[in-house]
Amino acid sequence: MSESFSRRDFLGLLGATTGAMLAGCVKERGLPAGQAQSKPNIIVIFCDDEGYGDTGKYGAKGYVTPNLDRMADEGVMFTDFHAATAVCSASRAGLLTGCYPERVSILGALGPHSPVGINDSEVTIAEMLREQGYATGIIGKWHLGDHPQFLPLRHGFDEYFGLPYSNDMWPNHPTAGKDYGPLPLIQNNKVLAWLEDQSMLTTWYTERAVDFIQRHKSGPFFLYLAHNMPHVPLFVSNRFRGKTERGLFGDVIEEIDWSTGQVIETLKAQGIDKNTLIVYTSDNGPWLSYGDHAGSTGPLREGKGTMFEGGMREPCIMRWPGKIPTGLVCNELATTMDLFPTFAGLAGGKLPEHKIDGHDIWPLIIGQEGAKSPWEVWYCYYMGGLQAVRTPRWKLQFPHTYRTLDGHPGGTGGMPVEYSYKEIGLTLYDMQSDFAETTDLSANYPEVVAQLQEYGRQARADLGDELTGVKGSGIRPPGTVNWSSGPQTVQ
């Protein structure tokens, strides 16, 4: 395999590998000829490090996102939607399993050759939907382990094309390049190429997504399109480079917007637009230390790596013509963990026998009259520590140390600045009037503080807490590498 990978190389491989799939490497799924499809196709577009203020409808400045804006006009836009936590691997575990990351013991961001990953005993969205006859594909970032036992084909996906972990885990990392080897682009379980240039990633992912939809138009299918962008290092194709006032970051977002438009246009061209639910969101907030290469949290406090709202409140847009009324805005609390049970309800799938934490939010998605958030309380964990608890109205921050730029600017040109670290005490915020988390109301509402502290005690008993040293009873182990069979890295 050559060390670098060009667009010409990719197009040749696209034809070759697609042909191999159709020849039998991937079993085609679908309903018998002449049988009408009743189960919806489902597409999740999952960005990386996109902030709450990074799309047009959420206040983005210096670039435009016409396709995402149109998607919001044609569906529902959430204003209080959250990732499961504020860091890469853990957030993806929450999305795909419907569980708190602490429950499935996936914390932080897994590095190359990590000895842990997603456990075979966990049930993913893909596994649940495949049992219902869905074709399942992931295009993009995986980040739940890069040993073969952790890769997507072992966890419900029929096919996989993308990077096994974050795109900055390579020799060109601005501060830790010596810690990483070459960046592998993987097709199913094999390394297709070692990337030296990521400029075409979003384009390649989009072309693959279009191809997947065309091949599975008879449905039903589940497509998980997990963009590596706008995580640093930022890369964009030539057609979008230099287009926006915001610079490279704006160029990257406009290419993601274009990609989303291509997906929707393909659905229309194949005549399956009205039987497809699309969800657009992100894994966590922006990496603020990268400054002009990072996104915006809009009015929210802090960013990625914290459990303030800027760390995990995300843009979320859903579209399904004829099912989701147009122009809806949902202000209710919801999370990525809710997608698993919601999709199960739509597809007639079974929930796992073991406990999951998400809720079916279909009533919120369609704007059902009187529908309220199913979350009585949401536990805001980061790296195993219970940093806060949240109800639809209130949020109680427990004492902990957090990282912050403390009002200083971030870096420039892809070089980060260092965070400072501050302490926060027991602090209560009203999420209805102060979602920017500026005013502590704990002295005014002692009874609310007491109730939220009790919720915290219940959370610790179930999921533990690194901050207080409590061991939880509801935690399941991660997958671990079986070293007895020798090295387990992809080849």
Structure tokens at 163: 């990077």
Give bridge partners of residue 278 from the DSSP assignment: 43, 319
Q: What is the DSSP string of 59-101?
A: T--SS--HHHHHHHHTSEEEEEEE-SSSSHHHHHHHHHHSS-T
Dihedral over Cα of 296, 297, 301, 307: its sign:
negative
Q: What is the pTM of this model?
A: 0.92
The whole-number pLDDT of residue 6 equals: 42
The whole-number pLDDT of residue 38 equals: 83
Residue 154 is classified by DSSP as G
364 within 8 A of 332, measured Cβ to Cβ: yes
What residue ranges of the chain are covered by domains with CATH 3.30.1120.10?
378-463
What residue ranges of the chain are covered by domains with CATH 3.40.720.10?
40-365
Cα-flanking dihedrals φ and ψ of residue 391, to 5°?
A: -110, 175
Question: What is the rounded CA–CA span in Å between residue 151 and residue 334?
Answer: 28
* Active-site hit among 47, 82, 99, 143: 143
The whole-number pLDDT of residue 57 equals: 98
Q: What is the pLDDT of residues 368-388, one digit of tens each?
A: 999 999 999 999 999 999 999
Amino acid (one-letter) located at 371: A
Amino acid (one-letter) located at 57: K
* Active-site hit among 88, 316, 330, 380: 88
Residue 275 is classified by DSSP as G
Q: What is the pLDDT of residues 408-450, one digit of tens each?
A: 999 999 999 999 999 999 999 999 999 999 999 999 999 999 9
The whole-number pLDDT of residue 471 equals: 98
Cα-flanking dihedrals φ and ψ of residue 265, to 5°?
A: -65, -35
Cα-flanking dihedrals φ and ψ of residue 454, to 5°?
A: -65, -40
User: Which 3 state secondary structure label does DSSP give 171?
Assistant: coil
> 40-365: which CATH architecture?
3-Layer(aba) Sandwich (3.40)
The whole-number pLDDT of residue 8 equals: 44
Phi and psi based region of residue 166 (left: phi greater than 0; alpha: psi -120 to 50; beta: remaining): beta
The whole-number pLDDT of residue 37 equals: 60
Query: Is there a catalytic annotation at residue 88?
Result: yes
Task: Kindly give the parts of the chain with pLDDT less than 50.
Answer: 1-36, 484-491
| Strand 41-47 to 221-226 pairing | parallel
Structure tokens at 258: 């274009």
Cα-flanking dihedrals φ and ψ of residue 480, to 5°?
A: -130, 150
Options 3.90.1150.10, 3.30.1120.10, 3.40.50.150, 3.30.565.10; CATH of 378-463: 3.30.1120.10
Cα-flanking dihedrals φ and ψ of residue 329, to 5°?
A: -125, 125
